Amino acid sequence: MEIHDIIKNRWSPVAFSDEPVNDDLLDSLFEAARWAPSSYNAQPWKFMVGRKGEETYALLFDLLKDMNKRWAHTAPVLVLSMAEMVPPGRSSENRFAFHDTGMAVGNLLAQATNVGLQVHQMGGYDVEGARSALQLPPNMEPAAMMAIGFKGDPSNLPDEVAAREERPRERKGLEEFVFSKKF
């Protein structure tokens, strides 16, 4: 079944090149995120951006679990997505804050693929550490870390890490998650 190339060609690589990502190109990813739909148009997503050589990059990198540190150091940009769980001026939680942040990240991924960038998301990081290191307010929930950059050479990585680039990408069949009767 045919799907769009932008969806088909996105994947989560471990090798990034040294080539820096210029500001305009990086901003185009956030511009794509900006236009995501959201419940009540609350736009609950926030992004903390670190470029290699900057303090924020070092801070984000330090939060990563060792398994991710092994390859993520090759990425020129690290970004932490966050969800504002309670909208300003409201007292109740926005049940869709995480959902909508994920949709904004989906837009970001599509734009990245479209401009030749690759993004690898990571849940393997110290969430509590992120709250304190970034001085997040209580209503800001860290979501996923992202390594962003251009394609690199996996042979610069340890063999067992580089081997991940060769792993076949697998997915469940539609029959496992598309339903038309009672669950």
Ligand X SMILES: Cc1cc2nc3c(=O)[nH]c(=O)nc-3n(C[C@H](O)[C@H](O)[C@H](O)COP(=O)(O)O)c2cc1C
Residues lying near ligand X in the complex (CB under 6 A) are found at 11-12, 68, 121-124, 144, 169
d(CA 181, CA 143): 32
Q: Which is nearer to ligand X, 8 or 90 (CB)?
A: 8
The residue number whose beta carbon is nearest to ligand X equals 124
Task: Write down the least CB distance from residue 1 to ligand X, Å.
Answer: 17
**Between residues 86 and 112, which has the closer beta carbon with respect to ligand X?**
112
H helix runs in the chain, sequence order: 5-8, 23-34, 55-63, 66-72, 97-114, 127-133, 159-162
Q: What is the CA radius of gyration of the chain?
A: 17
Of 142 and 180, nearer to ligand X (C-beta) is 142
Shortest reach from residue 101's CB to ligand X, in Å? 11
Both structure tokens of 51: 């470029």
Burial class (CB in 10 A: 0-12, 13-18, 19+), 134: middle
Q: Name 121's bridge partners.
A: 146
Provide, rounded to whole angstroms, the least separation between the CB of residue 53 and ligand X: 23
Closer Cβ to ligand X, 29 or 144, answer by number: 144
